[in-house]
Structure 1
Amino acid sequence: MRVKDLKKKSSNRVDVSYLRQFGIQGFGDDNLYPQTLRNIIAASSTGSECAERYANFIEGNGFKDIRFSEYVVNRKGDTVDDIHALVCPDVGDFDGMSLHINYNIFGEICELNYVPFENCRLLEEDSNGYVAKIAVHPDWSGKKTRAGKPLQVKKENIDFIDVFNPRKEVVLSQIEAAGGIEYYKGQILWLSGGGKNVYPRSRADRVVTEMSTDEGLANVKFRNVRCNFLSAGIVITKKGQSIAGEDSSGLNDNDGFSDMLGKLQGDTNSLKMLEVEISSDEEKPEFVDLSSKNYDKEFSVTDASVVERIYSAYGQEPWYCIRIGKVGFSGDILEDAFEYYNSIVSKQQRMIERAFQKIFDGWYEVANPSNDYSVEPLKYVRNAAVSNNSRGGI
């Protein structure tokens, strides 16, 4: 089928619209795309497992230069390594990152802080296609509170911060325009794997349907265990007779029978026996088998395909093969898997490396004499005991 014949059946993965009241580009049709995406990932056990592994490999063992990784970058005492650890989950979940940079009165970078990527929105482009500021709000859903009051999504609660441009003349002019260094809000370094001034689309986006299905399958399994009828059966006796059973309370009225149904549901009430008295002339008790329907089997194929597709979207086929027993569990296989996956995350690591280099090239002092901003990749550690001098792997 031709591409033009399919365009009516497909839609944009990330809707971008202009929100006139704020002058920003909406991230998703409700401006909550990153928040919704992260909730979908968190609700899927397979998705959150793959996303966590992806972020861990992006982080690696931190920057190779240990002295640089221990350098304090803000008044709160955060180190380069602390900021790096906060950025990597954002890169993993959204394929984007944002950092806040402060300057001194000489126009030199003097402070670095992490800003959650989901808190940032792009301003509308000007006539030259340039985005001048980043809009930052602590919670675009408006549910977060401070001092007991909700932080509503209003223009007065949004910080409009200049985009990163470390040229000294630009910074000094921004400080002057703000009315002095005490009123200057600094700059935001906003990076997207989707391109310049484009909201990114992460690996998780391609399997959001599968992740939501994974959550639904977990709910089915939960209800199958907790709410299914797992009783052994019903013993029907003549009224006046008594059969010793695990549950033999009288059920001579409708209310009692309704109450008993609830007591026979779920795993904690499994294999119990229900006794029902009848007012007929039967001499011997009758046993009626209650075979419940196991709904797990109905979704076994769906379950397997959903898990496989989520692993595939994150490029984690080696771990999927180990999980299903297609390959053995050995040190050589895991070592190969680590080496393979380090190549998968190298692009995201380079994004982070370039970002930190841009910042510290304009730092007020020499913070990284080696000028080495590379990230040390994770390595599989065969021995359980790791020396104190080693930074190890997972």
Structure 2
Amino acid sequence: MKTYLPQIERRILVRPNQTFGILNYDMDNAYPQRMLELVAQSPTAKDCWNKRAKFIAGNGFEEQTLGKQVINSKGLTMAKLLKAIATDKALFSGFGIHVNYNANFKISSVNYVKFEDIRMGDTDSPETAGKFALYSDWGRKTWKNIMRNKITFLDSYNPDEQIIKEQVITAGGWKNYKGQLYYFNPEVDDYPLIEADSVWEDFETEAGIKIFNNREVTTGFLPSTMLFMQSRREEADNSTDIGSGINTPSQLEKDLGTFQGAKSAQKIIVIEYEDESAKPEFQPYAIQNNDKLFESTERSVEARIIKGFSVPKELINAEKASGLSNGSEKKEAIREFNDNTSPDRMELAEVLEELFSHYCSNINPTNNWKIIPVPANVADDVIGVKAGAAINQLLQSSVPTESKIATLMYAYGFKQAEAEAMCTP
């Protein structure tokens, strides 16, 4: 008997790109750009990303004055830097920080670099090995081709004075020196996958459902229908123009087009015909009930995306929880998510402590770089208390039992059996 392991395709392929002196981030060198577009199209994925970023950045630094410290000539503050790198880490698991030095070999400026703009240098080329390439349009969204002269190469972060001195000499002096890049990457000599890479197909699915719903609205939920009509000489202008290749719509097609859509749902169209043989015939054809299918698909897709980002579902779908327990459930979810993101906050604090230990001035005399977790009291039980008081008032009122049960089910999220038990004397 022969045994074998099924071949599982790698999520990304890293290949040397000799044209630009980099290692491609997947075959098209645009993995981060593709993931950003998919997340932007998926409401659940975007919400999960925002939640992770918020919890990683927490409530800022414990040292209150630290967040206001300006760290470059453009006015970047420590608070803004923390928020920016936390946002990148929440999705890409990594981030980039550019530093430059003064003649005393101390860091004189710190800048945030978008993670999606960073590519590792080709390790097989002595000119780019150990360097990082920065370019703002690897996905060719603005320009059709990548311009080699627009790519900036930076040395890897190393605060050793001798290393910096050699880099400055190689660059042709301080005026030509571009500094170094601190590249936080959980992988070793490889690119990281996004946080929820295992479910990125679901981002695309949710975006497709959104497009389908939009199409249904813009066509006025018009059922699928075929129109049969006899061809007429006066409609011949609908034939393809050989020169332009463009179809010119007939007047009937124009009328039908304006008849569709949410804003035209109650219009009436009048079609004239000369004899019975020229009468247009609208014939609907049966299709699968998409409403229920899409509803169940949307729920399962949403659940997988939330799971892929490792975000407690109470923080995404808190409004679906029972009114009585919503506050306590959210509190527990916040504590859980704070624990899950604690290593991320610790890593950011350690990186910032390392970088600013070489800064030209002491911006944090207490050397306290800890980040405050999101406080659980944002989900105070006041919500549950208010809901409980309202429910007690409802139960003690003279409202018919059927109305009480309906209110408990639809206004407060109780199941029917629970609502009936509460209304039973």
CA distance in 1, matches of 2:352, 2:329: 34
Aligned letter for 1:305? S
Percent of aligned pairs with the same amino acid: 28
8 A contact 1:214–1:306 mirrored in 2: yes
Q: Indicate the SS of the match to 1:190.
A: strand
Matched ranges for 1:297-336 at <5 A: 297-316=292-311, 317-320=313-316, 322-325=318-321, 330-336=326-332
Determine the structure 1 residue equivalent to 2:40: 42
8 A contact 1:230–1:292 mirrored in 2: no
Structure 2 gaps, min length 5:
224-233, 236-249, 277-281, 382-425
Determine the structure 2 residue equivalent to 1:239: none
The alpha-carbon distance between structure 1 residues 280 and 202, as it changes in their structure 2 partners (threshold 3 A), is: closer
CA distance in 2, matches of 1:3, 1:217: 40
Aligned letter for 1:19? N
Q: Which of the two has greater strand per residue?
A: 1
The alpha-carbon distance between structure 1 residues 290 and 326, as it changes in their structure 2 partners (threshold 3 A), is: farther
Determine the structure 1 residue equivalent to 2:11: 13
8 A contact 2:328–2:379 mirrored in 1: no
CA displacement, residues 22-68 of structure 1 (integer Å, 9 cap, x when unaligned): 22110011111101110110011111111111111111111211212
Determine the structure 1 residue equivalent to 2:343: 347
Q: Indicate the SS of the match to 2:181.
A: strand
CA distance in 2, matches of 1:152, 1:159: 16
Determine the structure 2 residue equivalent to 1:159: 152
Determine the structure 2 residue equivalent to 1:381: 378
Determine the structure 2 residue equivalent to 1:215: 207
Aligned letter for 1:351? E
Q: 2:22 aligns with which of 6, 21, 24?
A: 24
Determine the structure 1 residue equivalent to 2:70: 72
CA displacement, residues 211-253 of structure 1 (integer Å, 9 cap, x when unaligned): 000000011111111125549xxxxxxxxxxxxxxxxxxxxx9
How far is 1:328 from its partner?
5.3
Q: 2:95 aligns with which of 85, 97, 121?
A: 97
CA distance in 1, matches of 2:175, 2:351: 26
TM-score normalized with structure 1 length: 0.79
The yes-or-no answer on 1:199 pairing with 2:160 is no
Determine the structure 2 residue equivalent to 1:226: 218
Structure 1 gaps, min length 5:
145-149, 232-252, 282-287, 385-394
Aligned letter for 1:226? T
Range moving further from structure 2, 268-277 or 92-101: 268-277
CA distance in 1, matches of 2:252, 2:20: 60
How far is 1:290 from its partner?
8.1
How far is 1:117 from its partner?
0.8
How far is 1:191 from its partner?
0.8
Q: CA RMSD in A?
A: 3.2
CA displacement, residues 158-204 of structure 1 (integer Å, 9 cap, x when unaligned): 111110001112112212222221111110000112x2332111223
CA distance in 2, matches of 1:346, 1:3: 43
8 A contact 2:14–2:190 mirrored in 1: no
Q: 1:358 aligns with which of 354, 357, 364?
A: 354
Aligned letter for 2:84? L
Q: 1:270 aligns with which of 265, 270, 280?
A: 265
How far is 1:331 from its partner?
2.3
8 A contact 1:134–1:161 mirrored in 2: yes
CA distance in 1, matches of 2:140, 2:205: 28
8 A contact 2:168–2:177 mirrored in 1: yes
How many residues were matched structurally?
Answer: 349
The alpha-carbon distance between structure 1 residues 354 and 213, as it changes in their structure 2 partners (threshold 3 A), is: same
CA displacement, residues 335-381 of structure 1 (integer Å, 9 cap, x when unaligned): 11111111222222222112111101111222211111111111242
Determine the structure 1 residue equivalent to 2:164: 171
Q: Indicate the SS of the match to 1:66.
A: coil
8 A contact 1:62–1:81 mirrored in 2: yes
CA distance in 2, matches of 1:350, 1:131: 30
The alpha-carbon distance between structure 1 residues 127 and 120, as it changes in their structure 2 partners (threshold 3 A), is: closer
CA displacement, residues 133-164 of structure 1 (integer Å, 9 cap, x when unaligned): 111112213444xxxxx595233221111100
The alpha-carbon distance between structure 1 residues 103 and 3, as it changes in their structure 2 partners (threshold 3 A), is: farther
How far is 1:276 from its partner?
5.4
The alpha-carbon distance between structure 1 residues 151 and 302, as it changes in their structure 2 partners (threshold 3 A), is: closer
8 A contact 1:69–1:79 mirrored in 2: yes
Aligned letter for 1:372? N
The alpha-carbon distance between structure 1 residues 3 and 360, as it changes in their structure 2 partners (threshold 3 A), is: farther
Aligned letter for 2:190? V
CA distance in 2, matches of 1:357, 1:16: 32
Aligned letter for 1:338? I
CA distance in 2, matches of 1:271, 1:151: 45
Determine the structure 2 residue equivalent to 1:114: 112
Q: Which of the two has greater helix per residue?
A: 2
Aligned letter for 2:20? F
CA distance in 2, matches of 1:47, 1:319: 13
